[in-house]
Amino acid sequence: MRSHLLSQSLTKACVALISHTTLKTMKLSTLLAAAFALVGFCNTASAVTYPLPTDGSRLVGQNQVITIPDDNKQPLEYFAAKYQMGLSNMLEANPGVDTYLPKGGSVLNIPQQLILPDTVHEGIVINSAEMRLYYYPKGTNTVIVLPIGIGQLGKDTPINWTTKVERKKAGPTWTPTAKMHAEYAAAGNPLPAVVPAGPDNPMGHHAIRLAAYGGVYLLHGTNADFGIGMRVSSGCIRLRDGDIETLFRQVTPGTKVNIINTPIKASVEPNGVRLVEVHQPLSEKINDDPQLLPIVLNASMQTFKNAVQTDAAVMDHAMEIRSGMPVDVTRHHDVAQQPM
């Protein structure tokens, strides 16, 4: 009975936390609908592994389009988990979709094609803006891509830092801080001093501690059925329980971890095609609309846009739409019409 009540308390606490945060920022009503739609829902999927291109390309994977069953009774998270996506990935690729209950017979874009981050293919790379984790297993010439959740506003996951895996722990316990105790108690959801390992632990069954910042940030699982592709944690990086288990089995202490914040990625492919992949940037204030927040281009991205080979108007449109899927922004010269 105590275990059941604890689980209920933690679920309510998670939902309470969502009411103070955003997807990046998703409209509050949409976010709450997503949370309540997921109570009692559970789904698992295998990690998506891509072979690394050997020709200098940074493009991997293929997008899919699926049709929602006519008698659908599942929330969007069901399809996100089934196809190894975060909720934010699905919402970017399917603007206007009903988060609570996608319409039967409608189509969903599954954004499984992506541009690899412009980093060394080593260790773990986390791009907070796209809410994805990239793991490059040594000696395999592959990359494992996993969706993540990150810290809510005010408890942000630090960005633009490099660290390493300090240690791993199977069956972690959770010891809430004094501040957490006060916040949860104020919301009517008092927490125990220590939450033991097991199915009711909000850290899931595996945790990977990062060395920087005194070791306070972890990669860990979850006992909730929502939160991946969302900003709901207290600063740690959250994965679905099966995904953290996959990562836990493979990474070793000392593995490099690079955390970046790159809402726009670009690539010039070996065949000359120029691609951009644009995500909604992370909000900084609760009322920010990530669909409208400006995306500041760094020097190399501005050079890419200004190049004669790039269609700047198409790139501007991609930056406005922010679909999270690679878009061809190559300038295609008009072919002169032959006289009759």
pLDDT tens for each residue of 275-325? 999 999 999 888 999 999 999 999 999 999 999 999 999 999 999 999 999
pLDDT digits (tens, 9 = 90+) for 242-275: 999 999 999 999 999 999 999 999 999 999 999 9
Q: What is the mean pLDDT of residues 137-151?
A: 96
pLDDT digits (tens, 9 = 90+) for 117-126: 999 999 999 9
> Where on the phi/psi map is residue 272: left (φ > 0), alpha (ψ -120 to 50), or beta?
left
Position 9 scores a pLDDT of 40
Name the residue among 48, 40, 43 with its Cα closest to residue 11: 40
User: Is residue 4 pLDDT above 60, yes or no?
Assistant: no
Residue among 121, 220, 279, 333 flagged as catalytic:
220
Max CA distance (Å), the chain: 85
> Token match 């200004």: residue?
306
Contact between 61 and 322 (Cβ < 8 Å): no
pTM: 0.85
User: Is residue 154 pLDDT above 90, yes or no?
Assistant: no
Position 30 scores a pLDDT of 41
Please report, to the nearest 10 degrees, the dihedral formed by the alpha carbons of residues 5, 8, 12, 15 taken in order: 160
pLDDT digits (tens, 9 = 90+) for 192-233: 999 999 988 999 999 999 999 999 999 999 988 788 999 989
> Where on the phi/psi map is residue 59: left (φ > 0), alpha (ψ -120 to 50), or beta?
beta
Domains of the chain as residue ranges with CATH: 2-260 (2.40.440.10), 264-328 (no CATH)
User: Is residue 183 pLDDT above 70, yes or no?
Assistant: yes
Q: Which residues contact 108 (CB under 8 A, 6 or more apart)?
A: 65, 66, 67, 68, 79, 90, 93, 94, 97, 102
pLDDT digits (tens, 9 = 90+) for 57-111: 999 999 999 999 999 999 999 999 999 999 999 999 999 999 999 999 999 999 9
Residue among 236, 317, 332, 333 flagged as catalytic:
236
Concerning whether 236 is annotated as a catalytic residue, the answer is: yes
